[in-house]
């Protein structure tokens, strides 16, 4: 695989990776702006804008967009995150020009028809309703709202019923013009592609987009604390979080390995102690969520409400113990799992294109896979233990619980002891 990178005078960056054995190509346009860049009166507009991009342009109706891409066997999709928004396609290599034309069209000439906007607002209200019906989604929203209160990072990406209903075509255009500027955009493509052709197409098709530097996101401030939600459920679901490493932190890989040792996979400490030895849960895992300037490590589990306090005691004990006793063998397992996960991305053109774009947005460069592997291998036992101790000392833990009331209060009190033990 050969990676090529080019930055246009406008600041727009194009990165490609030709994968000789493939006949298809994955490509997309990623913008370094998402829900985190919204003002209070814009809550949910990033996600709505992503939806409206496919609802018609000055050259194509919504039906035209779907018919033209599917006529060549391709597909279009998009996603909105807190820090990025992506619009992408997968087609045969011979149809890359068509995909680039459609993607460029929806970003440079969106129609934002008022009737289509009203319909899509209704669709998103249904999406919000579905999310509210999902206990895991509700729990995660509670958690982020407590961890990052009164900040965009603490607000659900979908917005609220009132905020989504409030948006107008003019508001969408204003937000797009303010954030969808060329210096903040990455075009990434992988598979059966020709770099020079992609550069030529993009230079022509995205030239109308603004070249001014877009505004930055609000700085994140992790608060911690606890929040409990009551819901009639068979299980109680719990999340405990600690402030962690950003993408750019020197502790990023050590923190990730600590997280895998703690709760990544069936050999992890949490799985073995909470599920295999005590039978307290069906699902339990730890995860690392980095952002550009902050991050957190979270632990999720579901259990019988009566077992909530015991389960949280196990979680607190395992976090503390892992920060002191993480060993060579389990760290080696975690490294192997991480390497397989990282290398697996290279086997998919869509995964590779996504990785290229996100690396450019996070680091401003393509990080070679051998460099990633070296950094993983370079982490020592003491590095992992130190990363765990830094998590414990970083700030007040965040606890969110959802379910019947029995046991949640006790679990929350035990979660708070994590900070007291670390102090």
- Residue 273: active-site member: no
CB within 8 Å of 169: residues ≥ 6 apart: 112, 113, 114, 117
Claim to verify: residue 166 and residue 130 sit in the same structural domain: yes
Burial class (CB in 10 A: 0-12, 13-18, 19+), 232: exposed
401 - beta bridge partners? 228, 238
- Which residue from 236, 223, 12 is spatially nearest to 139, judged by alpha carbons? 236
Clarify whether residues 321 and 413 are in a common domain.
yes
My answer on whether 201 and 231 are in the same domain is no
Structure-block tokens of residue 397: 């833990």
Q: In the chain, how many domains are there?
A: 2
Residues 6+ apart with CB under 8 A from 186: 12, 13, 14, 15, 29, 30, 32, 356, 357, 360, 361
In whole angstroms, give the CA distance from residue 394 to residue 242: 7
CA 6, CA 1: separation in Å to the nearest integer? 17
- Residue 90 φ then ψ, to 5°: -135, 125
Query: Which contiguous run of DSSP H or E holds residue 286?
Result: strand 281-290
Enter the pTM of the model: 0.93
Would residue 126 count as lying in a domain? yes
Q: What is the model's pLDDT at position 421?
A: 55
- Looking at the domain assignment, is residue 366 inside a domain? yes
Q: Give CA–CA dist 316/418, Å, rounded.
A: 6
DSSP string, 190-236: EES--HHHHHHHHHHHTTTS--SPPPPPPPP----EEEEEE---SSE
Same domain, 170 and 114: yes
Asked if 220 and 291 count as a contact pair (C-beta separation under 8 A), the reply is yes
Angle, helices 328-345/349-363, rounded to nearest 10 degrees: 110
238 is in which domain, residue-wise? Answer: 225-422
- Residue 343: CATH number of its domain: 3.30.830.10
Name the CA dihedral angle for 118, 119, 123, 125, rounded to a multiple of 10 degrees.
30
Residue 354 forms beta bridges with which residues? none
Exactly one of 50, 116, 120, 416 is catalytic; which is it? 50
Out of 152, 172, 205, pick the residue that ends a domain: 205
C-alpha separations of 194 from 27, 52, 366 in Å: 12, 30, 18
271 and 389 share one domain = yes
CA distances for 205 relative to 76, 106, 306, angstroms: 18, 11, 60
pLDDT confidence of residue 112? 96
Pairwise CA distance, residues 366 & 368, whole Å? 6
Q: In a 10 Å sphere around its CB, with 0-12 CB exposed, 13-18 middle and 19+ buried, how is residue 41 labelled?
A: exposed
Tokens representing 178 are 């303010």
Per-residue confidence of the chain (423 residues) as pLDDT tens digits? 589 999 999 999 999 999 999 999 999 999 999 999 999 999 999 999 999 999 999 999 999 999 999 999 999 999 999 999 999 999 999 999 999 999 999 999 999 999 999 999 999 999 999 999 999 999 999 999 999 999 999 999 999 999 999 999 999 999 999 999 999 999 999 999 999 999 999 999 998 888 887 778 888 999 999 999 999 999 999 999 999 999 999 999 999 999 999 999 999 999 999 999 999 999 999 999 999 999 999 999 999 999 999 999 999 999 999 999 999 999 999 999 999 998 988 889 999 999 999 999 999 999 999 999 999 999 999 999 999 999 999 888 999 999 987 789 999 999 988 865 554
Same domain for 270 and 189: no
Residue where a domain terminates, one of 156, 177, 205: 205
DSSP state of 164: H
Has residue 215 been placed in a domain?
no
Is residue 214 one of the residues assigned to a domain? no
Asked if 99 contacts 34 with a C-beta cutoff of 8 angstroms, the reply is no
DSSP 267: T
Does residue 256 sit within a domain?
A: yes
Residue that the structure tokens 């990080």 belong to: 367
- Judgement on whether residues 6 and 144 belong to the same structural domain of the protein: yes
CA distance 166 to 227: 28
Q: Are residues 176 and 263 in the same domain?
A: no
Looking at the fold, whether 356 and 413 belong to one and the same domain comes out as yes
- Note whether 275 and 319 are same-domain residues: yes
């Amino acid at each position: 695989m050969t990676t090529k990178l080019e930055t246009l005078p406008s600041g727009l960056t194009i990165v490609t990776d030709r994968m000789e054995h493939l006949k298809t190509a994955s490509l997309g346009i990623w913008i370094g702006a998402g829900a985190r860049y919204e003002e209070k009166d814009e809550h949910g507009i990033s996600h709505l804008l992503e939806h409206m991009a496919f609802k018609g342009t000055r050259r194509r109706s919504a039906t035209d967009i779907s018919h033209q891409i599917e006529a060549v066997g391709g597909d279009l999709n998009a996603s909105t995150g807190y820090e990025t928004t992506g619009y992408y396609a997968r087609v045969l290599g011979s149809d890359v020009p068509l995909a680039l034309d459609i993607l460029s069209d929806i970003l440079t000439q969106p129609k934002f028809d008022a009737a289509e906007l009203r319909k899509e607002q209704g669709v998103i209200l249904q999406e919000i309703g579905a999310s509210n019906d999902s206990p895991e989604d509700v729990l995660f929203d509670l958690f982020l709202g407590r961890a990052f209160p009164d900040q965009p990072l603490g607000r659900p990406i979908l917005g609220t019923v009132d905020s989504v209903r409030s948006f107008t075509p003019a508001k969408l255009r204003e937000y797009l013009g303010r954030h969808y500027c060329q210096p903040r955009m990455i075009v990434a493509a992988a598979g059966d592609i020709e770099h020079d052709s992609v550069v030529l197409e993009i230079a022509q098709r995205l030239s109308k987009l603004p070249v001014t530097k877009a505004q930055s996101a609000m700085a994140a401030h992790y608060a911690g604390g606890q929040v409990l939600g009551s819901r009639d459920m068979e299980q109680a679901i719990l999340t405990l979080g600690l402030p962690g490493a950003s993408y750019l932190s020197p502790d990023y890989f050590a923190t990730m390995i600590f997280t895998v040792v703690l709760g990544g996979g069936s050999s992890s400490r949490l799985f073995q102690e909470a599920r295999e030895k005590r039978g307290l849960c069906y699902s339990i895992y730890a995860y690392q969520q980095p952002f550009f300037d902050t991050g957190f490590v979270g632990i999720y589990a579901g259990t019988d409400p009566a077992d909530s306090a015991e389960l949280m005691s196990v979680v607190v004990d395992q976090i503390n113990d892992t920060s002191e006793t993480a060993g060579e063998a389990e760290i080696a397992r975690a490294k192997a799992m991480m390497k397989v996960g990282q290398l697996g991305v290279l086997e998919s053109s869509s995964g590779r294109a996504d990785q290229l774009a996100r690396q450019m947005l996070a680091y401003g460069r393509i990080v070679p896979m051998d460099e990633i592997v070296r950094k993983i291998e370079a982490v020592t036992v003491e590095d992992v233990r130190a990363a765990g101790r830094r998590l414990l000392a970083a700030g007040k833990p965040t606890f969110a619980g959802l379910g019947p009331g029995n046991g949640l209060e006790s679990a929350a009190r035990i979660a708070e002891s994590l900070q007291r033990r670390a102090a």
